[in-house]
Structure 1
Amino acid sequence: MSIDVSLLKTICDLPGAPGFEKQVRDFIVKEVAPFVDAVEVDNLGNVIAIKRGKRNPENKRVMVAAHMDEIGFIVTHIDDNGFLRFHTLGGFDPKTLTAQRVIVHGRKDLIGVMGSKPIHVMTTEERQKVAKITDYFIDLGMEKSEVEKFVRIGDPITREREFIEMGDCVNCKSIDNRVAVFILLETLRKLEDPAYDVFATFTVQEEVGLRGANVSAHFINPDFGIALDTTIAYDVPGASAHEKITELGKGTAIKIMDASTICDYRMVAFMKKTAEEKGIKWQPEILTAGGTDTAGVQRNGKQGAIAGAISIPTRHLHQVIEMAHKADIGASVDLLKALLESIDTYDWKH
């Protein structure tokens, strides 16, 4: 299927570091309203869009979680020469930051550059060391007095990488996890016959500890849970077959486990069965390092939830640019829609 690339670009280009998701949230609230029965925003900032089920005498609830935030930084210091020091919000591979542009979101947005010690003046020992986050500073090209007109301690920082298309793929700074926001919005737009009540939840602060999912699952108390998030596609030169996790273009991924969750075997079986019946291309996913909102959805209702996840294969994850395949994104929309329309037909007792 083709996807709405323009909508995906709009979502991905928005800034939204953990705890600073307002621009993403405002867009979602406006965009989702025509397709659901109610929209709520909780105290933490999660958006909960509710679409009532058509065959739901027992008032079953399905929570679908897609986190709004992206990995970013926060300003911790402005030195005497106007250079910024920062702390990470989420996990980064430091070596990918060298000479990259960022956006400091102060009183106005300012472009900065990740600076570090030039290789020309490094000692032999320094050249051999692995880069650390603390090796970097942000250069705004301004004197301190000018910087302080716009920047304060505590201002968020995001990566500066515009969304582009590359062959059959899309590439930008925040595929993780804006692609899941897109998938959830597109599913709600197309979903005309949900079986049970759908609580489409756009969560905050996933990248710093699944915080939004924990709170929203406690409030929703779902019977079933489906998380939407990216996963590693290590299908590149040098990767052994067992290291790939997933591959681009091989379909949406059905999570079996990650570092924070062992998915319910019934949900995994239901997802596989539905994908096969609908002719949706899929691949299994086991991610031994890294957690997702699946854990929050699964554990934080009063009785827990029968939970699993749809994962979107992504190359260069948690780097300055990330890349996903359009066909995998489309397959993820198709699978989520099919699950929500047929979840009442599966035998959940076995």
Structure 2
Amino acid sequence: MSINVALLKSICELPGAPGFEKKIRDFVLEQVSPLVDAVQVDNLGNVIAIKRGNRNPENKRVMVAAHMDEIGFIVTHIDDNGFLKFHSLGGFDPKTLTSQRVIVHGKKDLIGVMGSKPIHVMSTEEKNKLPKLTDYFIDLGMPKEEVEKYVTIGDPITRERELIEMGNCVNCKSIDNRVAVFILIETLKQLEDPAYDVYATFTVQEEVGLRGANVSAHLINPDFGIALDTTIAYDVPGASAHEKITELGKGTAIKIMDASTICDYRMVAFMKSTAEKFKIKWQPEILTAGGTDTAGVQRMGKQGSIAGAISIPTRHLHQVIEMASKEDIHASIHLLKACLETLDAYDWKH
């Protein structure tokens, strides 16, 4: 099963830390505008692309949310030697940052290195401690006078990692959640017969509190909601069976709950039956820690929505690189399309 890896590569490699999504937003607008009936950008920066339903006398709305932002950092200080201190935008695993390259997005993009105290000069106590974000600084290889020509306090920082293919997987920074942006764009390309009006929503600032989803759901006021996001695939050595959550290559995941949402039982049942009907490989997902845009989609409309989520199993989540299966990505596109085209055929009253 093939996917458009070149498009996914372009989406993943663009920068877009929370609150600084302009470059990825501009790319999304370019991609979706020819595919839909109307496009708008709200004051927070969410992109809402509307594709009208073909069988919709009651004007029902389904909101599909994929967040555009990626975990990143923001410059907080430039010291006398030109080294940068920073604050995180979203959750990072600090132990994965040692000596990693980042891009500081100032007046021009500058490559930096995440520096920390060398192991050779650490005390025994320091060697036995897990690193903290505050242990790191960013080295641009420039003196302060040169750094200040290009960098100011408040500039965003993103990871520097290109997309590569590994086996039947893709590996890159920002698979979370650019793979969902990709899935939503590819679904819009294939979506010919939506049952209800589809509000394909590319949200901002999910990684710092679901902010874009909350605002856009309040505006759209959806009857149905589907979030698209990555989830943990802890299918690696040392993982017990009950810890895995999902596994790569076992299909798209149908969310039952995460830390911020218990999905509507009707949406879960609908997604399961749709996957079975269309012979789409799937697996259940219960994520006990970590929230997604599902919460905003479900709760921020005037009457709430019948909401659930399609999740993409991902290894190494919230680290420097992340990995997903091309088969699972393909299955996610297939399931989303099938759901949007058959929403009106399901008995939502039971």
Equivalent-residue separation in structure 1 for 2:119 and 2:3 (angstroms): 43
C-alpha distance in 1 between matches for 2:123 and 2:283: 47
Partner in structure 2 of residue 108 of structure 1: 108
Q: CA RMSD in A?
A: 0.3
CA distance in 1, matches of 2:197, 2:83: 51
DSSP-derived class of the 1:110 partner:
strand
Separation in 2 of the partners of 1:270 and 1:2? Answer: 26
User: Which residue of 1 is the match for residue 252 of structure 2?
Assistant: 252
Amino acid at match of 1:42: D
2:28 and 2:315 mapped to 1: Cα distance?
26
Query: Could you list the per-position Cα deviations for residues 159-199 of structure 1 after superposition, in whole angstroms to 9, with x for gaps in the alignment?
Result: 00010000100000010000000000000000000000000
| Structure 1 equivalent of residue 44 of structure 2 | 44
Q: Distance in 2 between matches of 1:30 and 1:134?
A: 38
Other-structure match for 2:205 = 205
CA deviations on 1:85-116 (whole Å, 9 max, x unpaired) are 00000000110000000000000000000000
Distance 1:6 1:94 in 2: 30
Three-state SS of the structure 1 residue aligned to 2:161 is coil
SS in 2 for 1:184: helix
Output the TM-score relative to the length of structure 1: 1.00
Q: Which residue of 1 aligns with 2:99?
A: 99
Distance 1:128 1:339 in 2: 50
Partner deviation per Cα, 1:111-147 (whole Å, 9 max, x = no partner): 0000000000000011011110000000000000000
Structure 1 residue 258 displacement after superposition: 0.1
Q: What is the alpha-carbon distance in structure 2 between the residues aligned to residue 186 and residue 129 of structure 1? A: 44
Equivalent residue for 1:341? Answer: 341
| Residues 1:83 and 2:83 aligned together | yes
- Percent identical across equivalent pairs? 86
Distance 1:80 1:188 in 2: 50
Q: 1:324 and 1:306 mapped to 2: Cα distance?
A: 28
Q: Distance in 1 between matches of 2:201 and 2:175?
A: 18
Q: Distance in 2 between matches of 1:342 and 1:2?
A: 24
- Structure 2 residue aligned with 1:154: 154
TM-score normalised over the length of structure 2: 1.00
Q: How many angstroms apart in 1 are the aligned matches of 2:323 and 2:29?
A: 26
What does 1:138-149 correspond to in 2, within 5 Å?
Answer: 138-149=138-149
Name the CA distance, whole Å, in 2 between partners of 1:95 and 1:7. Answer: 31
Q: What aligned pairs does 1:237-316 form with structure 2 within 5 A after superposition?
A: 237-316=237-316
Letter of the 2:92 counterpart? F
For 2:166 and 2:117, locate their aligned partners in 1 and report how far apart those are by CA, in whole Å: 32
Residue 326 of structure 1 and its aligned partner are, at CA, apart by 0.1
The one-character-per-residue Cα deviations of 1:251-295 (angstroms, maximum 9, x if unpaired) are: 000000000000000000000000000000000000000000000
> How far, CA to CA, are the matches of 1:2 and 1:199 in structure 2?
26
Q: Following the alignment from structure 1 to structure 2, what is the Cα–Cα distance between the partners of residues 341 and 111?
A: 45
- 1:149 alignment partner, SS class: helix
Q: Which amino acid aligns with 2:30?
A: K
Does residue 73 (structure 1) correspond to residue 54 (structure 2)? The answer is no
CA distance in 2, matches of 1:3, 1:84: 39
Q: Give runs of ≥4 in structure 1 deviating > 3 Å.
A: none
- The letter of the residue matching 2:99 is A
Which residue of the partner structure matches residue 215 of structure 2? 215
Describe the SS at the equivalent of 2:64.
strand
Quote how far apart the aligned CAs of 1:156 are: 0.1
Which residue type is aligned with residue 274 of structure 2?
Answer: T
The answer for the alignment partner of 2:317 in structure 1 is 317
User: For 1:6-47, what per-residue CA distance to the aligned partner results, in whole angstroms no more than 9, with x for missing partners?
Assistant: 100010010000000000000010110111000000000000
Specify the SS of the correspondent of 1:179. helix
Give SS of 2:337's match. helix
Report the alpha carbon displacement of residue 2 of structure 1 after superposing the two structures with TM. 1.3
5+ residue gaps, structure 1, are none
| Residue of structure 1 in register with 2:163 after alignment | 163
Q: Which residues of 2 match residues 157-196 of structure 1 at below 5 A?
A: 157-196=157-196
For 1:20 and 1:33, how far apart are their aligned partners in 2? Answer: 21
Residue identity matched to 1:244:
K
